[in-house]
Amino acid sequence: MASRLSRIWPTLSRVRLSAALGSRCVSQTPKSSASNAAVASDLQPVSPAAQDSHGHAEVSPFEKNPDFHGFHHHDSFVDEWNMRLAFFFGISVAIVIGGTFIHYLPDHGMRHWARREAERLIKQRESQGLPLMTENYYDPSTIVLPSSGEE
Amino acid sequence: MLKVLIPTIMLFPTIWLTSPKWLWTTTTAHSLLIASISLTWLKWTSETGWTSSNMYLATDPLSTPLLVLTCWLLPLMILASQNHINPEPISRQRLYITLLASLQTFLIMAFGATEIIMFYIMFEATLIPTLIIITRWGNQTERLNAGTYFLFYTLAGSLPLLVALLLLQQSTGTLSMLVLQYSQPLQLNSWGHMFWWAGCLIAFLVKMPLYGVHLWLPKAHVEAPVAGSMVLAAVLLKLGGYGMMRMMVMLDPLSKELAYPFIILALWGIIMTGSICLRQTDLKSLIAYSSVSHMGLVAGGILIQTPWGFSGAIILMIAHGLVSSALFCLANTAYERTHSRTMILARGLQVIFPLTAVWWFIANLANLALPPLPNLMGELMIITTLFNWSPWTILLTGLGTLITAGYSLYMFLMSQRGPTPNHIMGLQPFHTREHLLMTLHLIPVILLVTKPELMWGWCY
């Protein structure tokens, strides 16, 4: 079913869309600097080799090398090894090993410890019926205040 | 610090001495190794303050996420540029990668600097490779205008900064961040001091960019080649945010009143640039204005000077850096195939490039700040702290969030959904390289969901 659809879809789309798009494929916006800038202009004469790689106008690199990975156009050996090294150093080393290193970093500032300690103390005090926190941080009997008569 | 800086400097011999066949392979592998080593910076050995390696270069929880982002971005830039730079003569290819590596070196020294003058020099030094990349390798004639805007906006902002720094050196005797964080608050009570305050911050506000002085950004981002756009959006804008956060410690108490107009400008900028995004026809221009919008939120968060504001700013800077760079890479894949940035030209792509549609989807969801991604967490922290400062800001930030969701969705629907036009049918399939590039952008964003304390800075 899908293969049948894929065979007739190009004709279908061409019939349906080309009628609508036929006259509209040419840009009809007034020439302004913004729209001019949005389209690449030929600044220098491009060599045929550059044209090939840039525009892929004539030959797609996938024709010559079906396993083209996007790294090197003409040499499939370099292309393949570039892909392998990029994946190895990018994912296996940087993300996996680096990620493991980051995961096992020590608890900076004891923040995770502080959260666990707080939860432990809350559970402990609730089970003992004590208030979660006493109002006075210091014992008031140890505080010596000057009497109001002195200076 | 040196274990990353020396390999980065050794990239230059690597670039110039490798055989042409293996140039891109070796530079990619070398820069990925540097990125892996840079992850060791995330182990902060002191409980507070700086993890010093020496008197001149040090890292602390504010600079570390930005440093890791910088080091991570170089291999991504090399991967992204490989296709369009490959046809050029070999010495020009080497020169291109040299410019990227020199940017990396300057940025590492900028984020790691402990002397504010060194930070200033590196801040200015990053302009030169970026200018060369934009004006030499940009694709349209407008690139010259873009380079001019980029250079002179930043220079005009940073000349007052130089004067302000020299005045600061005169009055405090030092410009070392290690010392200034403990100095007495400055007596700031005259008109001259207000100008000094403005001089300290204008350069960074232009770089961020703040809404009124943002005109350089759409031009520079659009005209730059993909690596230039990536580094501009991901890291160079954050230089502004980082500079502001460093300078803020010294600028109290003037900042309480003087920050007012800039906060309002930043918030208004979110709405205005977001609205401009909804009307864009040029894909890269849309992403560029989206950057201005997000950075407006960051600027607001920093100028508020609360712990949540700072933390939110850092988180949003890192998350935006990765996601914005991802969007520019996706826009470049469309550009390399259609040679146009017009959005309606490359539409209905989902049918032909289904896996790439997944990357477009995730990148756009991240851009519109979908929970639990760090984009949302940063935005929420900034919005909350702004609300605490003044409840009226919720109108601007809420509307800004809505418009952000609007244009992100617009970008996705415009490029992926809808009927696929005929001229799109023959486009070249996606390369493994491009899929890897997107993976390396988006996996860190997703992984950061699991350990956000890497990005909370020193204010948590």
Q: C-alpha distances in angstroms, A50 versus A53, A75, A80, B21? A: 5, 16, 22, 17
Q: Is residue B414 very low, low, confident or very high in pLDDT (cuts 50, 70, 90)? A: very high
pLDDT, tens digit (0-9, with 9 covering 90-100), for A13-40: 455 444 444 444 444 444 444 444 445 5
Does A53 have pLDDT greater than 50? no
- Dihedral angle computed from the Cα positions of residues B168, B170, B176 and B177, in that order, rounded to the nearest 10 degrees: -20
Mean pLDDT of all residues in B69-85: 95
The shortest CB-CB distance from B141 to any of A41, A62, A102 is to: A41
A117 to chain B, minimum CA–CA distance in Å? 18
> A76-87 and B432-448 are packed helices; what angle lies between their axes, rounded to 10 degrees?
0
Q: Do residue B419 and residue A97 have CB atoms under 8 angstroms apart?
A: no
CA B460 to CA B249: how far, in whole Å?
A: 16
The shortest CB-CB distance from A70 to any of B32, B433, B460 is to: B433
Q: C-alpha distances in angstroms, B136 versus B111, B230, B300? A: 27, 16, 35
Q: Is residue B277 very low, low, confident or very high in pLDDT (cuts 50, 70, 90)? A: very high
A105 to chain B, minimum CA–CA distance in Å? 6
Q: Do residue B84 and residue A62 have CB atoms under 8 angstroms apart?
A: no
A91 to chain B, minimum CA–CA distance in Å? 8
Q: Do residue B86 and residue A72 have CB atoms under 8 angstroms apart?
A: yes
Q: Do residue B453 and residue A21 have CB atoms under 8 angstroms apart?
A: no
**Of B31, B49, B149, B354, nearest to A90 (Cα)?**
B31
A140 to chain B, minimum CA–CA distance in Å? 32
AA letter at B154: T
B422 contacts on A by Cβ (under 8 Å): 13-14, 17-18, 21
Identify the burial level of B255 via C-beta atoms within 10 angstroms of its C-beta, where 0-12 means exposed, 13-18 middle and 19 or more buried: buried
**Of B261, B328, B250, B254, nearest to B299 (Cα)?**
B261
Mean pLDDT of all residues in B225-249: 93
Looking at residue A42, its pLDDT comes to: 46
Q: Do residue A95 and residue B425 have CB atoms under 8 angstroms apart?
A: no
Q: Do residue A70 and residue B432 have CB atoms under 8 angstroms apart?
A: yes
B166 to chain A, minimum CA–CA distance in Å? 36
Looking at residue A61, its pLDDT comes to: 85
A3 to chain B, minimum CA–CA distance in Å? 16
Looking at residue B303, its pLDDT comes to: 94
Looking at residue A29, its pLDDT comes to: 47
Q: Do residue A69 and residue B432 have CB atoms under 8 angstroms apart?
A: yes
pLDDT, tens digit (0-9, with 9 covering 90-100), for B115-166: 999 999 999 999 999 999 999 999 889 999 999 999 999 999 999 999 999 9
Q: Is residue A150 very low, low, confident or very high in pLDDT (cuts 50, 70, 90)? A: low
The shortest CB-CB distance from B39 to any of A14, A89, A98 is to: A98
Q: Do residue A102 and residue B79 have CB atoms under 8 angstroms apart?
A: no
Q: Is residue B6 very low, low, confident or very high in pLDDT (cuts 50, 70, 90)? A: very high
Identify the burial level of B416 via C-beta atoms within 10 angstroms of its C-beta, where 0-12 means exposed, 13-18 middle and 19 or more buried: buried
The shortest CB-CB distance from B431 to any of A68, A81, A95 is to: A68
A21 contacts on B by Cβ (under 8 Å): 421-422
Q: Do residue B43 and residue A105 have CB atoms under 8 angstroms apart?
A: yes
Spatial contact of B82 and B433, defined as CB atoms under 8 Å apart: yes
Does A10 have pLDDT greater than 60? no
Q: Is the ipTM of this complex over 0.95?
A: no
> At B184, phi and psi to the nearest 5?
-65, 150
B222 to chain A, minimum CA–CA distance in Å? 9
pLDDT, tens digit (0-9, with 9 covering 90-100), for A89-129: 999 999 999 999 999 999 888 889 999 999 999 999 999 99
Looking at residue B460, its pLDDT comes to: 63
Looking at residue B257, its pLDDT comes to: 83
Q: Do residue B28 and residue A86 have CB atoms under 8 angstroms apart?
A: yes
Looking at residue A9, its pLDDT comes to: 53
> Residues of B130-155 as b/e, b for ≥16 C-beta within 10 angstroms?
bbbbbbebbbbebbebbbbbbbebbe
Q: Is residue B16 very low, low, confident or very high in pLDDT (cuts 50, 70, 90)? A: very high
Q: Do residue B282 and residue A40 have CB atoms under 8 angstroms apart?
A: no
Q: Where would I find the H helices in B208-254?
A: 216-223, 226-231, 237-251
Does B25 have pLDDT greater than 80? yes
Looking at residue A21, its pLDDT comes to: 43
Q: C-alpha distances in angstroms, A86 versus B17, B348, B451? A: 20, 30, 25
Alpha carbon A43 to chain centroid, angstroms:
33
Q: Where would I find the H helices in chain A?
A: 2-21, 33-38, 48-55, 61-64, 76-87, 98-103, 111-128
Domain boundaries, chain B: 1-40+54-147+209-246, 262-459
Q: Is residue B428 very low, low, confident or very high in pLDDT (cuts 50, 70, 90)? A: confident
Q: Considering chain B, what percentage of its residues have pLDDT values greater than 90?
A: 80
Average pLDDT, chain B: 93
CA B229 to CA B429: how far, in whole Å?
A: 23
> At B340, phi and psi to the nearest 5?
-150, 150
Tokens representing residue B63 in the block: 């600079």
Spatial contact of B421 and A21, defined as CB atoms under 8 Å apart: yes
Reduced to 3 states (helix: H, G, I; strand: E, B; else coil), residue B59 is: strand
B24 contacts on A by Cβ (under 8 Å): 71-72, 82
Q: Do residue B140 and residue A111 have CB atoms under 8 angstroms apart?
A: no
Q: Is residue A49 very low, low, confident or very high in pLDDT (cuts 50, 70, 90)? A: very low
> Which one of B32, B83, B219, B332 would you mutate to disrupt binding with A, by most A Cβ within 10 Å of its Cβ?
B32
Q: Do residue B36 and residue A39 have CB atoms under 8 angstroms apart?
A: no
Residue with tokens 């699991």: B450
Which residue in chain A is spatially nearest to B281 when comparing CA positions? A35
Q: Considering chain B, what percentage of its residues have pLDDT values greater than 70?
A: 99
Mean pLDDT of all residues in B8-25: 96
According to DSSP, residue B62 is labeled T
Which residue in chain A is spatially nearest to B61 when comparing CA positions? A108
Tokens representing residue B13 in the block: 């011999």
Mean pLDDT of all residues in B86-92: 94
pTM for the model stands at: 0.87
Q: Which residues pair with B423 in a beta bridge?
A: none
Identify the burial level of B240 via C-beta atoms within 10 angstroms of its C-beta, where 0-12 means exposed, 13-18 middle and 19 or more buried: buried
Does A45 have pLDDT greater than 50? no
Q: Do residue B340 and residue A98 have CB atoms under 8 angstroms apart?
A: no
CA B196 to CA B180: how far, in whole Å?
A: 17
Tokens representing residue B353 in the block: 């490039």
pLDDT, tens digit (0-9, with 9 covering 90-100), for B396-411: 999 999 999 999 999 9
A79 contacts on B by Cβ (under 8 Å): none
Q: Is residue A6 very low, low, confident or very high in pLDDT (cuts 50, 70, 90)? A: low
The shortest CB-CB distance from A90 to any of B42, B341, B440 is to: B440
Residues 6+ apart with CB under 8 A from B44: A108, B51, B59, B60, B61, B64
Reduced to 3 states (helix: H, G, I; strand: E, B; else coil), residue B234 is: helix
Tokens representing residue A108 in the block: 């900076």
Spatial contact of B429 and B397, defined as CB atoms under 8 Å apart: no
Does A55 have pLDDT greater than 70? no
The shortest CB-CB distance from A14 to any of B79, B83, B422 is to: B422
pLDDT, tens digit (0-9, with 9 covering 90-100), for B322-351: 999 999 999 999 999 999 899 988 889 999
Tokens representing residue A115 in the block: 């959260």
